[in-house]
Amino acid sequence: MEKKTLGILGGMGPMATAYLLQLIIEMTDAKTDQEHLDVLVFNRPAVPDRTAYILDHAQPSPLPLLTQTAQTLERLGAGCLCAPCVTSHYFYQELSGAVGIPFVNMLTETAAELKSLGKRRVGIMATTGTVRTGLFQSALDGVGLEAVLPSPECQELVMALIYDEIKAGKPADPGKFQRITQELFDAGCDSIVLGCTELSLIKKSAPLPPGCLDALEVLSKRCVQLCGGTLNPAYHNLLT
C-alpha cells in the first residue's frame, strides 16, 4: 500500500494534538525515520469552542475556520485527514464534503473497535456538546451497542476535568475521574470510552482502570493503517 501524507486539523486542544502525533509515532512499527508517516499538522487553537457553539448557535461557529484548515491541508498534499477533537465531528458531514480526500471519523472507528472487542454496554465520557448532540450514541447504535451517559452531576465533573483542569494546563483530579468511571461501571457498563481528546491526557498522570478505551488511541491506530504505515503489534488491542 502506497503511503499517504496525514493531515491533522489540530489545536482543539493543542496538547491533545501533540499527544496524537506522539501516539502515531509510537504506534508505527518503524526501525528508521524513513519508515514513519509524513504528517502535516495545522495547529489552529483559534478555532471557536465547539461545545459553546453547539449549546448556543449565537456563539461563533467553528465551521468556517475548520473548513479552511481542511482545504489548506489538502492543498499542501495531505492524502487523508483527521481531527483530534471529538466534538468537532458535529461538523463531520460538512468537513468531509468540503475536501476530496478521506476524512477519518473518530466516532465510527471507536464504535467499530468496541464492537470488534465484543463490548455491548458502553459508558461515554465526553463534552456536554458531544453528549447533547448524540454523536457517540448514534455511532454506537449504528453497530448495535448500547450507550450509557453519566448522571447530570457526573457530567458536570467531566466538564470540570476537561475545561477547568486539562485545558487550563492543570493536572486532572483522579478523584473526579474515579467517581465518574465508578458510576458508569456500577450502571452495568462493560467498557468506557474516553470520548474527548483532552481526557486522553489523564493517562499521563494516572493509570486508567480496566475497561477503558481512548478514542484518541483509536484515531491514531486507524490513521497509521489508512495512511499505509505498519501498526506496532503492541497496539492491536487498545482496551485497558
Could you tell me how far CA 17 lies from the centroid of its own chain? 10
Report residue 174 as a C-alpha cell.
483522579
Residue 23, all three cell numbers: 501516539
| Catalytic-labelled residue, pool 80, 196, 212, 227 | 196
Catalytic residue among 80, 85, 223, 227: 85
Cell numbers 508517516 correspond to what residue?
37
Query: Which positions ≥6 away from 51 have C-beta within 8 Å?
Result: 87, 127, 128, 129, 130
Active site residue 189: no
Q: Where are the beta strands (DSSP E) in 63-145?
A: 80-82, 121-125
Q: What does the alpha-carbon distance between residue 55 and residue 125 come to, in Å, rounded to a whole number?
A: 17
Q: What are phi and psi of 95, to 5 degrees?
A: -70, -45
Identify whether 212 is a catalytic site residue. Answer: no
The residues annotated with a catalytic role in the active site are 85, 196
